[in-house]
Structure 1
């Protein structure tokens, strides 16, 4: 993707920017780490607590927020000989974060990993070929990043009234 020309402000006002809205919606580092763990299959409160080392009060708050936001749902489960407990499962909206999280993982491996071998790689189930996140056009063809540009709607640069 080409470097955009110099501007004094973004072509999309922050109040109309869906990317900015997603940052607000997803929350902070702890929320993102909970979602990451959930994408790997972690569901139970205690498992989130142990894996992430997150304080219990923070974990309870973030799980409540993620449920309220519609990214996770709470279900009851019971292990024989113990009291009923809650598990947290990704909704369709939460599951849809898999692609952007994998894109961030791919970016991180390249720019943050400092040449270390990644602890995980993605492969196609059917025949084991490596898989990566890429730009794809509406016809399913891979598009090089330098062939992608942004088109803007006329209204995008003005704030939503009341902001």
Structure 2
């Protein structure tokens, strides 16, 4: 370490209770986010998810089971005439709370990874038709446009090393 640079204060705190790490333990695998993308887009049945994503069947089975186990999805039974009971997957309140996260990831991808023609999907407000986007605001309602204005500080669950 360069002795002229100050030690980052974050090094004084444990990461054992880091909620970003815990969230990525659930969401961090590529196919998990792809499954959530499709369910947010209204694709809810196993066969449709498999067809739309190309995820191997066992991987899809595992990802859906994990999302149900973690309370992001719930299974709802349905039955086609003459067929056995199957399940479709619906977002729970916990799963719906991920919508801004997926929207932010999509916006980042649109900015840096879209084809020259533009992004493949746009999100619009049902009420007025205007395009939606994610923003940061402080608790007092100030819009944060420069991310260097955000200062991390220990929260109530922080533990010193």
Range into which the TM-score falls when normalised by the shorter chain: 0.7 to 0.9
Measured against aligned partners, the alpha-carbon deviations of 1:6-27 in whole angstroms (never above 9, x if no partner) come to: 8578455331221111101224
Query: Are 1:67 and 2:65 an aligned pair?
Result: no
1:18 aligns with: 19
SS in 2 for 1:156: coil
Normalised by the length of structure 1, the TM-score is 0.82
Normalised by the length of structure 2, the TM-score is 0.83
SS in 2 for 1:107: helix
Of 69-78 and 147-156, more deviation after overlay is shown by 147-156
Structure 1 runs not aligned, ≥5 long? none
Conserved? CA contact 1:75–1:88, under 8 Å: yes
Separation in 1 of the partners of 2:160 and 2:117? 44
Structure 2 runs not aligned, ≥5 long? none
Separation in 1 of the partners of 2:36 and 2:70? 12
Conserved? CA contact 1:13–1:157, under 8 Å: yes
Separation in 2 of the partners of 1:146 and 1:44? 39
Query: Are 1:39 and 2:40 an aligned pair?
Result: yes
1:150 aligns with: 151
